[in-house]
Amino acid sequence: MQFTDQLLVGLLEAAPDAMVFVDAGGRIVLVNAQTERLFGYGREELTGQPVEILVPDAIKAGHPAYRAGYMADPQPRQMGARIELAGRRRDGDTFPAEVSLSAIDTGEGILVMATVRDVRERRELQAEWERLKTQAERDRLERQLHQSQRLESLGQLAGGIAHDFNNLLGVISSYAEFVAEDVASKTPQQEWQAVREDIQQIQLAAARAAGLTHQLLAFARRDVIQPRALNLSQVIEGVEQLLLRTLGEQVELSTELAAGLSPVLADPGQIEQVLVNLAVNARDAMPAGGQLIVATASESIDADHAASRVGLAPGRYVSLKVSDTGAGMPQDVIDRAFEPFFTTKAKGEGTGLGLATVYGIVTQLGGHVQIYSELGFGTTFTILLPETSQAVEEPSSAPPAHQGGGGETVLVVEDEAAMREVTRRILARNGYRVLTADNGLHAIEVAASHTGDIDILVTDVVMPQMLGKEAAEQIRAHYPAVKVLFMSGYTPGGVLGSGVNLIEKPFTEASLLAKLHKMMSIRS
Ligand SMILES: Nc1ncnc2c1ncn2[C@@H]1O[C@H](COP(=O)(O)OP(=O)(O)O)[C@@H](O)[C@H]1O
Ligand SMILES: [Mg+2]
């Protein structure tokens, strides 16, 4: 088959683009049907007119020069590959256009064929698509914000309950300990065996409950922590054995620990807890075995990246990535995973506190945690902890063995009567002279009216009327040599300075005595 005139005319008239033939002088010689439709002119109105009739006023003036430039080197090209071109209709309306040019040598001179396509619809679709994209990004950020606010209020709720509950546990376990000791001195031993076993159950349950309240306090960011500058890679090396034991034989552990990382400020116990919680979850997500990868790296977060995550500030971070090859999580689980008590596990198998604790710890350290998960392929937790300029501190040596006092005088300040009495009793029966006060003001009075030394002040941190810290300062004014031990299940803001002596509630008799012994053995 050959091109015939009839075929060529048919093609031209059926073309979806406007086609305008222009001679070397810039006059229109031929147009197709789409040109008539697009520009609103009849073809008899266009023939013989300068092509600028189809060009909007704004760019009309420069057009002849452009045309001359093209004629000097008439290569096929798409006009406006870089600039926004436009066409002008008969009614003066303009529209965004894409124009391609080709030169045809007719034997009687060169003709330029301009193919014009109205791209308004495409531009509008593009703009709409951009708008939807921006909207989706905004929705995503809003959802993140909503989630973090939700976690914030859950934290306040949980933290309040956990704090009170923690004190009760302190009382329960201390009295259980007293009774256990009484029983131990009874004879004949076999007759008391059953009672001893029962007491042991009470102690076990109290210890487990204390573990739970500490998870809640960690989530609520009220857990007492003593952060120090540490190297994340080193801490992870130190807990590798623990992780291996946690994971069991089915799961293969590999680590990719960056050398020469900048230090981060954290309590090593916190990092350990984060890793163990993530490892336990990973193990649960890989019942048939799999791989767990723990990796550290330096990470720099720029403003753009920070803007895409709620609660992430630009800056230098150390990242900790924990990836498993387990079951993965659907989006609705990812959305709620950090909530306390959210679990997809069977009753009795999951507490729903693992990730809540991770979240609390990481945010308390000024960091950020994010989940990436593909259902059926695995999960990656990315934790970012801000770098610190402080130098890495070496951990202090192991605490000395538990030992009683040598007649030193201790002032115990605690607003909760049961806790105060427990503390008094532990100290009194271990060779300390004990004074007590139920609040900070009262403590100052007791101290002022006491004749003789006060060697140690053991005080609650948060009490009505006066905080422990303020009471300690005033008492120190009378007794400059007094050593201060704070007792706390929580501190507002959660962080005491690293030089401060602190014991976590609930404490055991042994841990309180060890702490005091250590304090007394350091000369001030
Ligand atoms: N590595 C993981 N892979 C798959 N799902 C996970 C993973 N970690 C956590 N999850 C999901 O998040 C939920 C909450 O985890 P967590 O707070 O540790 O509570 P728990 O483990 O007690 O259920 C889990 O029940 C599980 O559905
Ligand atoms: Mg868990």
> For ligand 1, is residue 64 a contact (CB within 6 Å)?
no
- What confidence tier does 494 reach under pLDDT thresholds 50, 70, 90? low
Dihedral angle at the C-alpha atoms of 461, 224, 392, 253, nearest 10 degrees?
Answer: 170
Nearest CA to ligand 1 atom 27: 344
Mean per-residue pLDDT, 76-96: 81
- Is residue 345 within 6 Å of ligand 1 at its C-beta? yes
Interatomic CA distance for residues 441 and 480, integer angstroms: 18
What is the Å distance from ligand 2's center to 291 Cα?
17
Q: Which ligand is nearest to the CA of 282?
A: 1
Whether 282 is in the pocket of ligand 1, judged by its Cβ within 6 Å, is yes
**What's the CATH number for 228-386?**
3.30.565.10
What is the predicted pLDDT for the residue at 395? 57
| Reported pTM | 0.64
Cis peptide before 506 (omega within 30 of 0): yes
Q: How would CATH label the architecture of 137-219?
A: Orthogonal Bundle (1.10)
Task: Report strand pairing: 315-324 vs 290-301.
Answer: antiparallel
Write down the pLDDT at residue 400. 46
User: For residue 5, how far is its CA from the centre of ligand 1 (angstroms)?
Assistant: 74
pLDDT at 17 exceeding the cut of 50:
yes
Does ligand 1 have an atom closer than 6 angstroms to the CB of 342? yes
Judge whether 113 and 20 are in contact, CB under 8 Å: yes
The verdict on the CB of residue 350 being under 6 Å from ligand 1 is yes
Give the DSSP H or E segment for 71: helix 63-72
pLDDT tens-digit map of 201-234: 999 999 889 888 888 888 887 777 778 899 999 9
Band (429; pLDDT cuts 50, 70, 90) = confident
- Protein residue whose Cα sits closest to atom 4 of ligand 1: 328
**DSSP structure string for 186-243:** -SSHHHHHHHHHHHHHHHHHHHHHHHHHHHHHHHTT-S-B--EEE-HHHHHHHHHHHH
Nearest ligand, measured from the Cα of 358: 1
Q: Which residue has the tokens 């080709």?
A: 102
Pick the CATH number of 409-521 from 1.20.1580.10, 3.40.50.80, 3.20.20.70, 3.40.50.2300: 3.40.50.2300
Most confident range (mean pLDDT) of 5-14, 378-387, 415-424 is 378-387
Q: Hey, which CATH number is domain 15-118, 3.30.450.20, 3.40.640.10, 2.60.40.10, 3.40.190.290?
A: 3.30.450.20
Decide: 342 and 351 in contact? Cβ < 8 Å: no
pLDDT at 129: 94
Task: Name the β-bridge partners of 434.
Answer: 410
Domain boundaries along the sequence of the chain: 15-118, 137-219, 228-386, 409-521
